[in-house]
Amino acid sequence: GQQLNQSPQSMFIQEGEDVSMNCTSSSIFNTWLWYKQDPGEGPVLLIALYKAGELTSNGRLTAQFGITRKDSFLNISASIPSDVGIYFCAVASNDYKLSFGAGTTVTVRA
Amino acid sequence: DSGVTQTPKHLITATGQRVTLRCSPRSGDLSVYWYQQSLDQGLQFLIHYYNGEERAKGNILERFSAQQFPDLHSELNLSSLELGDSALYFCASSPRPSTDTQYFGPGTRLTVL
């Protein structure tokens, strides 16, 4: 079953807004990943985090690896219509298995 | 376009049947991973092959099996299909076993009626 708790489950955002989503786990992980899935496509990696406390940006996206290694958040700044999609957090185990959160569905109001 | 191809794109079949899903990894990638995405279970890892050998198994049912061929393409075989097997099945590939360079294909949508 799911090891990760991702919230919120869905969000409606206004174009231009900054938004945030997060993911928590009861276990410690050494790698946290954030993916985006567009309709009809497979997930695409947005950001990978490897070190507790690490803050990494990819354009308007910023993600942080929590100090406890049990959580991570993703921020999207200045939302635009193409930000619509489902965002997943994921953690990696030592045998290269990815475990995904349930996803946050983002819908942008123009 | 990730460079990973999956066929067929859609598959509709009946309970009790057997189907084969095919994945061609990106050129040069030796690792292939299979994932299942369903409404109730979310996105779940099934199995990982590296250069023809099974490397890791996840929550894969005994009715499901996979293999990776010498040309590195992979097939996921699903047998004795049940309604609950309806899902999107994704293949991902990477040059070597990796967590941060898995490139996902567009998926095969399986509907079991």
Instruction: Collapse the DSSP code of A105 into the 3-class scheme (helix H, G, I; strand E, B; otherwise coil) and give the result.
Output: strand
**Do residue B99 and residue A92 have CB atoms under 8 angstroms apart?**
yes
pLDDT in tens, A1-32: 448 999 999 999 899 999 999 999 999 999 99
Asked whether the predicted pLDDT for residue A62 surpasses 80, the reply is yes
Mind telling me how many Å the CA of A81 is from chain B's nearest CA?
20
Q: Chain B residues with CB inside 8 Å of A44's CB?
A: 2, 104
Residue closest to B104 by CA, chosen among B41, B42, B45, B53:
B45
List the structure tokens of B20.
């084969």
**Do residue B56 and residue A100 have CB atoms under 8 angstroms apart?**
no
pLDDT tier at B59, thresholds 50, 70, 90: confident
Asked whether the predicted pLDDT for residue B27 surpasses 70, the reply is yes
Q: Chain A residues with CB inside 8 Å of B2's CB?
A: 42, 44
Asked whether the predicted pLDDT for residue B92 surpasses 90, the reply is yes
pLDDT tier at B100, thresholds 50, 70, 90: confident
**Do residue A98 and residue B100 have CB atoms under 8 angstroms apart?**
no
Q: Is the peptide bond before B106 cis (omega within 30 degrees of 0)?
A: no
Task: Estimate the share of chain B in helix, then strand, then coil, as percent rounded to the nearest 5.
Answer: 5, 55, 45
pLDDT in tens, A65-92: 999 999 999 999 999 999 999 999 999 8
